[in-house]
Amino acid sequence: IRYMLGYCTSCPTLPGYASYTIPVMASGKLWNIRHRIARPDSEGGKYRPHLAGLPSMLFNYDELKRTDSRRVMILEGEKKAMVVTQETGIPNAATMGMQNFKPEWVAKFDDRWHEILVCYDPDASSKSADVAKMFGKRGRVVTLPAKADDFFVKHGGTAAEFDYILSTARPA
């Protein structure tokens, strides 16, 4: 219920293909709906906006209002944010792909966050470092052995193991 996920038997962005719908909310407002094609082929990838021209947003944006932690993660992708929240409870926000972090979003990560852990997919370490550098001394690069969601779902990783990996994050 928290994420208000949905399902389309025939995706409006790719008729004939089923999709999972992921609303992108901030401060109680709907800003975007992302469709994840259930069984993607090479026709445009697996993620699509509901309508052309919708803004690129940080998914899980309201997590940035939390006050129970001094660290926050930036992940790559909505599904990873949901799984990491479920498995660890660590505050996080996610970009809509590794190329989508906007420099103007740095200001949204105020001084309450002492560590900003950029945790992109293993094949995106260079991009992780670029984003972490935007935060100066607070930015850290996390190198995961697998994608964040796969760490838990496919490989059976635990919250304690994930936390250990986060503790090895290197300064940007």
Pairwise CA distance, residues 88 & 160, whole Å: 8
For residue 43, pLDDT beyond 80: no
Pairwise CA distance, residues 59 & 72, whole Å: 13
Pairwise CA distance, residues 13 & 51, whole Å: 8
Under a CB-based contact definition with an 8 Å cutoff, are residues 146 and 123 in contact?
Answer: no
Q: Taking residues 83-108, what's their average pLDDT?
A: 93
Residue 42's pLDDT band (cuts 50, 70, 90) = low
pLDDT (tens digit, 9 = 90+) per residue, 146-156? 999 999 999 99
The DSSP-derived string for 69-102 is -SEEEEEESHHHHHHHHHHH---EEEESSGGG--
Q: What's the pLDDT at 88?
A: 97
Higher pLDDT, 39 or 69: 69
Which amino acid is located at 7 in the chain? Y
Rounded to an integer, what is the distance from CA 15 to the centroid of its chain? Answer: 26
